[in-house]
Amino acid sequence: MLRDGNKTAFIVLDALVTSTPFIPFVWSPSVSRINSYLLSLEMRNLSSQEELEIVDLTEPVDLWIKKGNVALNTSKGRVEHTKTLAHSFDVKYNQSSINIEIDVLGEFKEQPSLVVYLRKEQEPTMDGDEKDIVRVIPQLHHARNDSSEQNSTTMTSDEELAHPKVLFLSNEMFNGTAAGKYFVIVEYNGTMSGAEVPEENKTVEYMFSLYTSECLYWNEVNETWIGDGCVGKRQRVLHTA
């Protein structure tokens, strides 16, 4: 449905989404911030093939963008039962989304439960302070129905995106102020089943992986890649939306 002033018209749209690893406008200094595929969207009137200007949308357009081959920032952690281990990292850009993945190593009789505390600018207090972001790893979530697998440019629900090992923070959460130093505390507090921790599993080793990403678009007026108004609400290791 298209509106022009007080006039409303219903037309059939022809949408073309193109994904490419080749980035244009390489002369712009801002191109250094791009390390993913480039996605372009074109909409036309199906009957006339007239290209339509994409403005004043009543709802945002969701697109999946394939990430580039960027190595994750990883480190190994080792934490004893009832103890904690601290990590820290820096985020460079204000429009960033943050992904933290905790992958427990080895085999266990009872699946360990780790509590991850995250806080910006200072260490988490671990006492229920509302500024602490808390996540249990692995988190419980509804099983995904494999028959509903969708491709990289279709809508996918937040539930489908839930990953038991990942703490994901959208740039929308930070309201354009994500840049800064972050502190993480990992606590080994028990087992997922609630059973007693076996003696041979009193210590857990894990891989701590971190990556940040931005949602950017080419601003034709300023001739630069910017992220104003572009929100990455959902994300996977290979794609962001």
pTM for the full model? 0.69
Tens of pLDDT, residue by residue over 5-46, are: 555 556 666 777 777 778 888 888 888 877 777 777 787 877
Q: Which of 21-30, 145-154, 157-166, 200-209 has the lowest mean pLDDT?
A: 145-154
* CA gap 239, 236 in Å, rounded: 5
pLDDT class of 161 with cuts at 50, 70, 90? very low
Distances in Å between the alpha carbon of 19 and those of 23, 175, 221, 236? Answer: 10, 28, 23, 17
Number of H helices, E strands in the chain: 2, 16
Query: What mean pLDDT, rounded, does the chain reach?
Result: 77
238 φ/ψ sector (left φ>0, alpha ψ -120 to 50, else beta):
alpha
Rounded average pLDDT over 155-171:
63
Reduce the DSSP state of residue 151 to 3 states and report it. coil
Considering just the CA atoms, what is the radius of gyration of the chain in Å? 22
Q: Which strand (E) or helix (H) includes residue 78? A: strand 73-80
